[in-house]
Structure 1
Amino acid sequence: MGQWRWPVMAICAMLSCVAVEAKNHYGTECETLPSTIHIVKEEFDDSGQVTLNCEEDIAVNKCEGACVSKVQPSVNTPSGFLKDCRCCRETHLRTREVTLTHCYDGDGNRLGGDKGKVQVTLREPADCQCFKCGESTR
């Protein structure tokens, strides 16, 4: 048993060093950042023809960053390693109404006034943090 103990301890020590080194180098940098997405909303008639096409570039929040994950040897898991994977994602989503103002009819003519505006509902991250991968935030 003494033969097997030293290599496992050496692996543990090596992995711990790697995890600490990665944490110091990358850190946990999960944050909510501004971004822009292009939204297209189309409406169709009964025959499937486009009757309205609206689009807009909209400012939204996104979750981005790195979370520290760890791997350590384990005699209790089939793979021989216990993995603690962390992912950057939203703590909750907020709902927001936005107006698309670049609207065109089925022939490609630009629409103005109330016909040239369409409301759409977005869900975007209100805040972000690191979570265990695969776990629900709700």
Structure 2
Amino acid sequence: MSFKSLKILSIYTVELFILFVLKCAAEEACETIPTEIHVTKEEYDDMGRLLRSCSGEVSVNKCEGMCSSQVRPSISAPTGFSKECFCCRENFLRERLVTLNHCYDPDGIRIDDEDGAIMEVRLREPDDCKCYKCGDFSR
């Protein structure tokens, strides 16, 4: 293979790589979406005895989607490739109260009295999501 052919092949490879990176970046779709989860919370007295157990279906946000990652040949990396991975994660969390309305006593009998029939639980959920370098927990 001549030097000219090798040079054209190298340019073609670089162009394909750039197109691949641009295509991956265009497909990035990290977003906050609603989902339903089942939450159970138990309440204990000072002696550690179960007072009640409450549960319910709760609508919360989650982060989901694809982020562009890339692997490039590298002469300095021990494996011969430089890897840049990105993951869809929460950018900001918000705290909110949710109500659990299925409460039971330690014997498994449903609680009907006004004070014990519901329980408010504080939880944190993603308010915004974005792509972060994988393994980067410094933010």
Q: TM-score range by the shorter chain?
A: 0.7 to 0.9
Match of 1:109 in 2: 109
Report the number of matched residues.
134
What is the root-mean-square deviation of aligned Cα atoms in Å?
Answer: 3.0
Distance 1:41 1:52, change over 3 A: same
Unpaired stretches in structure 2, ≥5 consecutive residues: none
Provide the C-alpha distance between the structure 2 equivalents of 1:50 and 1:86, rounded to a whole number of angstroms. 43
Task: Provide Cα deviations, 1:69-110, integer angstroms capped at 9, x if missing partner.
Answer: 011001111111111101001101111111211101011111
Q: Partners in 2 of 1:67 and 1:120 — Cα distance? A: 32
Counterparts of 1:80 and 1:12 in 2: how far apart (Å)?
Answer: 17
Which position in structure 2 is the counterpart of 1:57? 57
Pick closer, same or farther for the CA change 1:90–1:20 going to 2, 3 Å: same
Maintained 8 Å contact 2:21/2:70: no
C-alpha separation in 2, matches of 1:110 and 1:11 = 70
Q: For residues 50 and 116 of structure 2, what CA distance do their matches in structure 1 show?
A: 15
Q: 1:136 to 1:15 in 2, by over 3 A?
A: farther
CA contact (8 A) 1:27 1:68 kept: yes
